Structures are given as C-alpha cells and as structure tokens.
Amino acid sequence: MITIALIGSVSFCQKARALADLDSSYHLKCYEYKEPADAPQLMKLIGHCDVLMFSGSLPYEFSKQQVEQLQIPVVCLRQDVQALAITLLKVVQLGYTLTRISLDYRHEEEWQSLCNDLHYPPTTHTLCLQSAQPSQPVLAFHRRALESGQVDFAITSIHAVYDQLREEGYPATHIVDTDNDILHTLAKAKEQAVLAKAEAAQVAVGLIQEQHCLPEELANFAQLMEATLNKKEHGIVVYSTVGKIKSVISHPMFKKWHSTLDSRVRIAFGSGHSTEAAYNNALVASSFTQSKQFYFMDARQTLHGPYPTIEKQSTLSVKHPQLVELSQEVHLSPQNMSRIFAYAALQNNEPFTAAQLAKFLQVTRRTAERMLKKLHDANYASIIGEQSIYQKGRPSALYRLKLPTLIQ
C-alpha cells in the first residue's frame, strides 16, 4: 500500500483525512502545523513514506532545503483561479461587498487571470505573498485594512492568519480548499509514488572497466551494492535495481570510495526492462565517462550525470541533536545509530536480515540482533517476514527500518 505523508494545517488535515478514508488504496499520515514556518520541524518527525504532500506552496517553500535531501516524490496543492472565485462567491453570499475586502494570495498570475475574467479587480486591498512568507506581516496587513474602516472582511490563504483574525473578532475566511483540488492532489501523489516504486524496482547494471582497479576496491564496491561481481566482455558487472543504485551513488560512503579510485578507472550505470537492455545502456553511459566522473542511462535512454554530485550536506555527525536524542531513546551509542542510518540509506527501504546488518557494521550477528531488538522495541524497526536460505535450520527474520528523517 502507498503511504502519503501530508504536512498541513489542522483544518486542512482534517478535511484531507475525511476524503482519504474513501480510498483504501493508500494510507495518509498527517503532520499538522500551527504556522507554515513550522513545516521544516515537522519533516524531522516523518517516518517511512512513499511520497510527501504539502497542503500549499507556502509550507513547501519553508521546507525547500529539507525537501532537496529527500529521495521520494514531493507534491503540493496549488490554490488556483477556481478556489479564488469560489471564495469570492462565498463572501458575496455572506452579504459583503467585494470592493470592501482585504485579500492575500500566493500566485500573481492566478489573481491577474481572475481580474481579467471579471474585467476589473474586485478589490484593491491585496497582498501577493512572497516565497516563505512569515505569517505576522500578513496578519498585520489585514488588521490595518480592517481597522482603517475601508475594509469590512478579510480573505487569507494562510490558515494561521485566519485563526488569529477570528480569535481577535475580525470577520474573515480562508481561501477555499475544494474537495476536488484535495482529491486531485492526493491522486497525483499516489500516481507519483507508484511511478517511483516501479522505476526503483527496474533492473539496473553497474559496470566497471577494472584494468586499473585494485581487488580490494572491487570488493568494497560489491559490499556497497550488496551484490556479487560478474566478469563480462567489457568489464566487471553487478546486477541490482534502480532504487538501490540511486541510493548507493548518492551515499557519502560510495563517494568516499569513488574518490580514491585511479582516475583511469571507468564506471557507469544503466537500467532497462531487461538485464540485456540495462547492460547495453551501461555500456553507452560508459562512453561518456571522464576522469573521476560517471553517468547513468535509464530505460528511456536518457543520460543522467555527471556523478558524483556535489555534496549539499555534511556527513551525519554523531553530535547531531536528533541522533543523540534517538540514541538515548533506543539505548544505542550515537556512533552505532549513525552507522545504522548509513545502512538505512543504502537499503532504500528494502528488507534485510541481522546477518546483512552485521556484515555492514562489521559486528557479530548476535550484536546486530541485539541492536535490532532495541530498534524494534522503540518502534524504529519492524519484522516483516522470514527468509529461509536453506531447507534445514531456523529461518532468519526479515527487518525493515522505520527511522525518522534527520535534517541537517
């Protein structure tokens, strides 16, 4: 089932929940804010999800830096001309004159389109919101307009401003979030998640032309990919999935490994609807490889790169406040929690066994099992099944991590 994480105001989340209950094909997890500026803090609380949805462009703008760190699709509800028009109609039905309202809006082009359709601006008391616009100046704008006596009613696109105006006794309303707009955005979120999952599961090939690559470097590559090395005509090949390769090549551990390679080592990746197609695309991508850079060619034969990309964030510090707090909660050292987060990033939400974690952490299986029990007890890991490699013997539990997003 698709999991959609929604960041929005209390009233928006209540409405979205009611609509989402009508569709059992996805699960909606809501994270409610009082102010749009709180959205970045809420992102720290988000557990596993397949897609992130924002209730509007304002909380999205506040969270842009954190969004860039995510490897899942992100969608945002946009207030359009229809929402503005319905809100104005609602105000008229309440008995107010449009020339005596104050209005803030997010998108200049939508407002101008409505004015053109009406052949004149309904009101001149307007404020176009900027990116990551704080609520207080918007609240002050409406207060001044209402207290001046030139305006009888306020329309705002920010739920927090609406709540405050109502609390202070001013007549006001929020720009309508129509059921149709919310349902359309939820459907878009689900569609983006399904497409991302399908692409992530697609077969992918990593190709290394190994003439100048040391055996231990090849072994480290195989460990990072959690795959076996296969010798082919054009070099060493590993078979994996797009999701796994994307998570690996964006990981600091891979970048560190890649930075130590001889500049003559050629590396490339490709994906396709078959292993042969993926291998051929990797071969094409390898023809573009330059010193210390490589490319990825997808199933549509679109070339991505060059990689590795420039680091936008530093390696996770064991002094990271969230990490320290989690370590205390789970009763594991910050060093071990940091390494577990590193493993989670490489796993890309794929299930794993205690033995696989032990191999990555370079500890005994028993130690890894104790760590996983602590994570499981704190609800940061779940047992989703069993894996039996041999017919005899006890099967191994399959785990999936449910760690929160750590914001740098």
Q: What is the pLDDT of residues 120-146, one digit of tens each?
A: 788 889 999 888 888 999 999 999 999
- Could you give the CA distance from residue 355 to residue 397 in angstroms, rounded to a whole number? 10
CATH number of 321-401: 1.10.10.10
User: Do the beta carbons of residue 362 and residue 335 sit within 8 Å?
Assistant: no
Confidence of residue 317 (pLDDT cuts 50, 70, 90): low
Tell me the average pLDDT of the chain: 87
| pLDDT at 313 (0 to 100) | 37
| pLDDT at 6 (0 to 100) | 97
Higher-pLDDT residue of 316 and 80 is 80
What is the average pLDDT across 277-291?
Answer: 85
Q: Would 2-76+179-198 and 202-307 be classified into the same CATH topology?
A: no
User: What does the domain layout of the chain look like in residue ranges?
Assistant: 2-76+179-198, 81-174, 202-307, 321-401
**Is the pLDDT score of 390 beyond 60?**
no
Domain 202-307 fold is Alpha-Beta Plaits (3.30.70)
Q: Which helix (H) or strand (E) holds 387?
A: strand 381-387
| pLDDT at 311 (0 to 100) | 39
**Is the pLDDT score of 312 beyond 50?**
no
**Is the pLDDT score of 253 beyond 80?**
yes
- Could you give the CA distance from residue 400 to residue 344 in angstroms, rounded to a whole number? 9
Per-residue pLDDT tens over the stretch 177-229: 999 999 999 999 999 999 888 888 889 999 998 778 888 888 888 888 888 88
CATH number of 81-174: 3.40.50
| CB under 8 A, 24+ apart: contacts of 172-177 | 172/142, 173/87, 173/90, 173/91, 174/11, 175/79, 175/83, 175/84, 175/87, 175/105, 176/83, 176/86, 176/87, 176/90, 177/12, 177/15, 177/55, 177/77, 177/79, 177/83
Per-residue pLDDT tens over the stretch 10-41: 999 999 999 999 889 999 999 999 999 999 99
| pLDDT at 264 (0 to 100) | 85
- Spatial neighbors of 349 by CB under 8 A, at least 6 apart, are 48, 400, 401
Domain 2-76+179-198 fold is Rossmann fold (3.40.50)
Higher-pLDDT residue of 186 and 385 is 186
Percent of the chain with pLDDT over 70: 94
First-to-last alpha carbon distance for the chain, in angstroms, is 29
